[in-house]
A and B are shown apart, each in its own frame.
Chain A
Amino acid sequence: MKKKLALALATVLACGLLFTGCSGGSGRVVNVCSWGEYIDTDLITQFEEETGITVNYQTADSNEILYSQLKNGGANYDVIVPSDYMIARLIEEDMLAELNYDNIPNYSKIDDAYKGLSFDPENKYTVPYSWGTLGIIYNTTMVDEPITSWNAMFDTAYADNVLMINNSRDALGIALLSLGYSVNTTDEAQIREAYEKLAKAKADGVYQGWVMDEVFQKMEQGNAAIAAYYAGDYLTMLESNPDLAYVVPEEGSNWFVDAMCVLKDAEHKEEAEEWINFICGTEASLANMDYIWYASPNAEALEQYPAYYEETYGEPLDQELYEIMAAPQDVLDRCEVYENLPADTLTLYNDLWVELGVGN
């Protein structure tokens, strides 16, 4: 019996060692969690060489998955890069730490346009990482005329040729925009109307599928005519299919900002701020922008990018592409940033979303 107990204890101990093994050692560490394909990985090596801090870089699939990881308490991230509405929610639930901007001198290079946004009005918790727009990607050989309106996403003329985005916020947001409502509305009648529009289009067989990153393969290989997705990803798709075009519809769209934040219970706050400072520097921003195709909020980097591109690739950057990546002010004026919705609106979103999936 004693032996049994000893063995059991030994096993538990061994398990414990196994799982804590990676956080041991005396070196300085920072745990970063971001999205997939969302950083130029050379930057990580460069940062490690410059500072001697080891970066544990992990990725999450979506804001919602990141949120559930944080809620479950299973993750020990220091720096995360959520989007606007999720930041608002995390601040509301008191999960983020206030930053010491003295340790982040490069913050001064961030354009004022990305400071004081609705999710962090007093600039206490965030340093913007990148921004972009949601829009319609379409295959010019598969549509009769250029797409200009979100209504194309509900048009039976393109039956079985449309890819709707597979998350409740964006899909219902698109329907709200096509009806001329705000993406941040909390009016139940408006949200239900948007749901009806989606449900009708679904019943009419407009949607070939509800997709997230599967959209790359489908659009690149010409399996669908129209899809709603993000500007930066359009530029990636364009590399393999030159027939694709991108538009921010006339009704306006979502303008999203992803920003770096430090968690309240972060163990490596100092290292986290060093990392944030490094990433929002001009040089790193340029390299990153070139890799991920999403615009940087660093004013210098954004301005220098066309020159950087020409120097790197030996050819000038197409102005049109540059404006898709970094939407000009007149486009942004049409767009809205997602705000965090109150709990009962979120529940309504989820209920309608499930109904939409259930109903066939």
Chain B
Amino acid sequence: MKNKRSLFAVPYIVWMAFLVVIPIIIMVVYAFTTVPAGATDDSLTFTLSNFTSMGNYTVVFTRSFKLALIATLVCLLIGYPISYMIAKEGPRFQRIAMVLIMLPMWINFLLRTYSWMSILENNGLLNQFFRAIGLIDLYNSIAIHFAADPAAYQPITYFQMMGTSGAVVLGMVYNYLPFMILPIYSVIVKLDHSLVEAAHDLGANSIVVFRKVIFPLSLPGVLSGITMVFVPSVSTFAISRLLGGGNQMLLGDLIELQFTGGAYNPHLGAAIAMVMMVIVVVCMWVMNHFGEGEEQAVML
């Protein structure tokens, strides 16, 4: 009986083996090897130089983790109240809300990010709007009073949004917010309502109920939400390139550069990817320790 059921897992195991396990093995092999200078065949030699040269890139590591952390936090601050609110509504509203949250995900991710470019550009929709309602003139008339030398004050014609780290965070939040909302929502909506009633019966007010009952019980959803937003954010390269205008190099860009750049060094690329993966796994492991005793968060 048991054997029969495990048969269903075979496609999954094959899938995982081909698309997860084997690629990881290839990555590790690449990370610890290099092609000796002047070699013409495919010979590889063992080396640690890929890791030792990584010190040059600490800035990129910190920037990536910082931006991904901010994006995750913003997603949590926006995503939790929304999920909570939706879960409290009637089933009809819930269905519509879910469709609305999923809807943008039916459109290609790059296309959506390109659209943000036309919104945030110096001459983009948002700046045109600000100009039309006089916000930019208003800013100029105020700023001129604060300028050190009012005569030399250069009035601005737009607010700069493209190419800033704010734009990159915005892109991450926009793209990955559904991944925060969905797991939190699905946990809250399944909460046993009698627990809330019991807490009320025992004299807890709404704030205490939320703090002592609802929030702890929704923690698994929050943890998987954080994982599902943080991991793609920390490894993204399209968002930083398009919205950061190439001024905000992230880890994803750095890795991509090793594979598609002029020097073509997949070994260094694999090493960076491996270090990033280890850091992410450690972070997730520590995070899941917070949720110890609760139901474990689903890792991806």
| Binary per-residue interface labels of chain B (26-38) against chain A in the complex, 1 for a CB within 8 Å, 0 otherwise | 0000000000010
Residues of A at under 8 Å CB distance from B? 1, 3-4, 7-8, 11-12, 15, 61-62, 64-65, 67-68, 71, 160, 164, 166-169, 202, 207-211, 214, 217-218, 221-224, 343, 346-347, 349-351, 353-355, 357-360
Residues from 52 to 91 in B contacting A, C-beta threshold 8 Å? 56-57, 59-60
Q: Which residues of B contact A61 (CB under 8 A)?
A: 260
How many Å lie between the Cα of A1 and that of B117 in the bound state? 55
CA distance A221 to B120 in the complex (A): 12
Given contacts A7-B10, A209-B162, A209-B163, contact A168 B261 (CB under 8 A): yes
* Bound CA–CA A190/B122 (angstroms): 35
Q: State whether B118 touches A357 (Cβ < 8 A).
A: no
Instruction: Type the 1/0 row for B84-106, where 1 means its CB is closer than 8 Å to any CB of A.
Output: 00000000000000000000000
> Which residues of B sit under 8 angstroms from A358, Cβ to Cβ?
56-57, 59-60, 249, 254
The answer to whether B121 touches A218 (Cβ under 8 A) is yes
**Given contact pairs A67-B264, A350-B265, A357 touches B160 in the complex (Cβ within 8 A):** no
For B291, what are the chain A residues with a Cβ–Cβ distance below 8 Å?
none
Counting CB contacts under 8 A, is B166 at the interface?
A: no
28 contacts between A and B (CB under 8 A): A4-B7, A4-B10, A7-B7, A11-B11, A15-B18, A61-B260, A62-B260, A64-B261, A65-B260, A71-B264, A160-B122, A167-B262, A168-B262, A208-B245, A209-B246, A211-B246, A214-B117, A217-B117, A217-B118, A221-B121, A221-B123, A350-B261, A350-B262, A350-B265, A357-B60, A358-B56, A358-B59, A360-B59
| Residues B123 and A349 in contact, CB atoms below 8 Å apart | no
Nearest chain A CB to B250's CB is how many angstroms away? 10
Q: Please indicate which of the listed interface residues B3, B246, B253, B265 has the most CB atoms of chain A within 10 Å of its own CB.
A: B246
Cα–Cα distance between A7 and B122 once the two chains are bound (Å): 58
B51 CB within 8 Å of chain A: no
* Nearest-neighbor residue (CB-CB) of B4 within chain A: A3
Given contacts A4-B7, A8-B14, A357-B254, contact A68 B263 (CB under 8 A): no
Q: Is the interface of B mostly helix, strand, loop or mixed?
A: helix
User: Per a CB cutoff under 8 Å, which of A4, A12, A71, A346 touches B263?
Assistant: A346
| Interface of A, helix, strand, loop or mixed by DSSP | helix
Q: Is the CB of B122 within 8 A of A210?
A: no
A209-B245, A223-B121, A350-B265 are known; give 13 further A-B pairs, CB within 8 A: A4-B7, A4-B10, A7-B10, A11-B14, A64-B261, A169-B262, A208-B245, A209-B162, A210-B246, A350-B257, A358-B249, A359-B59, A360-B247
